[in-house]
Structure 1
Amino acid sequence: MKITVFSAQSYDRQFLNEANQAEPRPYDVELIYQQATLSLQTAALAQGSEAICVFVNDRLDAPVLEALARLGVRGILLRCAGFNNVDIDTAASLGLFVARVPAYSPEAVAEHTIALIMTLNRHTHRAYNRVREGNFMLDGLLGMTMRGKTVGIVGTGKIGRATARILRGFGCDVLGCDPLPSPEFKRLGDMVDLQPLLEQSDIVTLHCPLVEDNRHMINADSLLLMKAGAMLINTSRGGLIDTNAAISALKTRHLGALGIDVYEQESALFFHDRSSDIIDDDVFQRLMTFPNVLVTGHQGFFTTEAMREISAVTFQNLHCLAEGVPCANAVVGS
């Protein structure tokens, strides 16, 4: 089978090649790596492939899916848990197989969430730069003790629960909010509705998938519900936050700090080296002017263990497609 891998970075090659060689199969798998992001303009790169392998910023709307189907592609393998970038109805109508990696090392994303919280709280990113310049003053680096603080977790799935377990170790009080509450979360914190969670939390962290119903769930109105000076963290999907509303809340000092590993318009920026370019995204550039904003480039998942799990599950999904057997990770198809 020939598989075209879009948005392929060097680490994707490393771990997918490793998984491809891990065990013999009754069929050969040829991986064709393309650094290009999948779009209508790049879909032709999948010519001759039975399946494609894509990531979070690849575009799989109706025109792209129709173009892929015309090329003979019959399977889409997602190297991620979310599938908000896939037009599911169109994929189903075209008879395409779509499968994801539903959970990969939730601890990896949870630990990155904590890294964002602690960096913003204790200003270690600013202290690092100061000390390198010989400035050992502490002014502007005052943080808060985590013990006894209330942290609201929006989304109580595996990542949310992993985050809650770490926060409990800090001595935090944990609140959870989820339209499908996890019974396991009740051992870690109290389940509440979104409004009281926002009103009571010193830190709010988002761990939910992006669907149309929760796009911009953090907006001008919900930000006003938050405590003055509270911290907001997002390691899920950029579309959960109305970035312009967050900027306004930062300008009025109502939002105390913002840490994001995802950004609504990230596809033009993240996973690319733009260090020699002029970045013309004015919203992103405005975000970067705030000393109390920390942005990382969608690296929450990026650990050796998570990459190996993503690659292994991707090949399990491919086996289901090749053999025509039921797939537990299928979003569309058997």
Structure 2
Amino acid sequence: MFGTKAQEKQYAQDWAQKTGNEVHMTTAELNDDTVDQVKGFDGVITQQTTSLGSPKVYEKLASFGIKQIGTRTAGYDMIDLDSAKANGLTITRVSIYSPRAIAEMGVTQAMYLLRRIGEFNQRMNEENDFSWSPSMASNEIYNLTVGLVGVGHIGGATAQIYKALGAKVLGYDVAYDPEMEPFLTYADLDTVLEKSDIVSLHTPLLKSTANIINADALKKMKKTAYLINVARGGLVDTQALISALKNHEIAGAGLDTLADETTFFAKKVDAADVPEDYKELAAMPNVVVTPHVAFFTSTSVRNMVQIALNDTATIVNGGHSRNALIY
């Protein structure tokens, strides 16, 4: 079990005791330098945002008799699917661990921005300004249109929350889900960008979605709109976003993920190692950044560990998992 976090250990131990299986945990990530640790084990799972490494990693896993790589995440862009396929490796992910956890974080960031909390804090703490300026009046959610880019499990949970709050919800997705009809109206991407007061991203990072929010997309958004990204950093062109914020092309942004986050998120780093784009964004009162923790609830952590371990045991024993990717 690679990339083990302190909060995961008890859940893994509980699973091992309940099932009678052995779970070896390491904080190291799976890559070219660590893959030899897998030798002698029957399965492997990891949680990381960095690449698993070169094709040699997949070749070695297959030579060790490994049948599957499990990721304790919904995203799987750290895995080279071509190398996995070439070596007969099944890939499983935890696509549903607690959609509401991530949905709630996205809504929380949106409400923080909508009610101008960061801007009020700056005025009070830096300018001693406690006045009720007319320019600081905010809107209420039931008056707004929320646009979702991606209407899967997390996007669907987000739609239900916003709908319950009274917002009009638009959704863009390459796949139509009739179960979402009570909570949103499907629309094309341009309509979602142009009509929404809050644009919230919930799509995987694929070649087709990389930088889906670029300079052109940001220009299509309302100047009063907020962008929320609780999905993958690579969905957004960071420099284009910074430029749009500086030029007041959009009102603000809530970001739980950044394109270059693997160098500093989920770890303590020296001040010199904090990227300039993060510093620039974090200094803006109309931006809120969190370190990829939208998933980080006790419910999510438990489910991510135990579902991933269950899938591994199932495949090792010759079974099939509904969480296996078809690729």
TM-score, length basis structure 1 = 0.89
Aligned pair partner of 2:157 in 162, 170, 192 = 162
Query: What amino acid is the match of 1:198?
Result: L
Matches within 5 A, 1:125-274: 125=118, 137-138=130-131, 142-274=137-269
The alpha carbon displacement at 1:178 in A equals 0.4
> Residue 146 of structure 1 contacts residue 172 of structure 1 at CA under 8 Å; is this kept in 2?
yes
Q: Are residue 318 (structure 1) and residue 312 (structure 2) matched?
A: yes
1:301 maps to a residue whose letter is F
Within 1, Cα distance between the matches of 2:59 and 2:182?
Answer: 46
Q: Which sits farther off after the overlay, 6-15 or 291-300?
A: 6-15
Q: 1:289 aligns with which of 276, 283, 286?
A: 283
Contact 2:43/2:316, CA 8 A, preserved across alignment: no
What is the aligned counterpart of 2:44 among 52, 64, 70?
A: 52
Alpha-carbon spacing, 1:67–1:317, altered in 2? closer, same or farther (3 Å):
same
Partner Cα distance (1:11, 1:104) in 2:
15
* Structure 1 residue ranges, 4+ long, deviating more than 6 angstroms after superposition: 128-134
What amino acid maps onto 1:13 in structure 2? K
Matched residue, 2:301:
307
Inter-partner Cα distance in structure 2 for 1:331 and 1:99: 6
**Contact in 1 for aligned 2:118/2:287 (Cα 8 Å):** no
Identity %: 33
> Residues 42-63 of structure 1: CA distance to partner in whole angstroms, max 9, x if unpaired?
3344343332211241422534
- Aligned twin of 1:17: 13
- Aligned-pair RMSD on alpha carbons? 2.4
Q: Give the aligned residue type for 1:86.
A: I
The more displaced of 37-46 and 319-328 is 37-46
Q: For residue 310 of structure 1, report the CA deviation from its aligned partner.
A: 1.5
Tell me the amino acid that sits aligned with residue 107 of structure 2. Answer: I
**1:102 aligned to 79, 95, 109, which one?**
95
Q: Could you tell me the TM-score, scaled by structure 2's length?
A: 0.91
Distance of 2:8 and 2:205 partners within structure 1: 24
Distance 2:323 2:105 in 1: 25
Distance 1:203 1:229 in 2: 9
Distance 2:97 2:207 in 1: 24
CA distance in 2, matches of 1:49, 1:136: 62
Aligned residues: 324
Instruction: Specify whether residues 134 and 249 from structure 1 end up closer, same or farther in structure 2 by C-alpha distance, changes over 3 A only.
Output: closer
Deviations 1:150-175 (A, max 9, x none): 11011111211111111112211110
Against the structure 1 CA distance between its residues 198 and 206, is the aligned structure 2 distance closer, same or farther, given a 3 Å change threshold?
same
The secondary structure found in structure 2 opposite 1:163 is helix
Taking a change above 3 Å as real, the CA distance of residues 178 and 164 of structure 1, as seen in their structure-2 partners, is: same
Quote the offset at 1:90 in angstroms.
1.2
What residue identity is the alignment partner of 2:266?
Answer: F
Residues 322 and 39 of structure 1, relative CA distance in 2, 3 Å threshold = closer
Supply the AA of the counterpart residue of 2:280: R
Unaligned runs of 5+ in 2: none
CA contact (8 A) 2:145 2:167 kept: yes
How far the C-alpha of 1:141 sits from its partner, in A, is 5.2
How do 1:40-79 residues align onto structure 2 when only pairs under 5 Å count?
Answer: 40-61=32-53, 62-70=55-63, 72-79=65-72
Deviations 1:92-141 (A, max 9, x none): 11122321112111111111111111111223356568778995714585
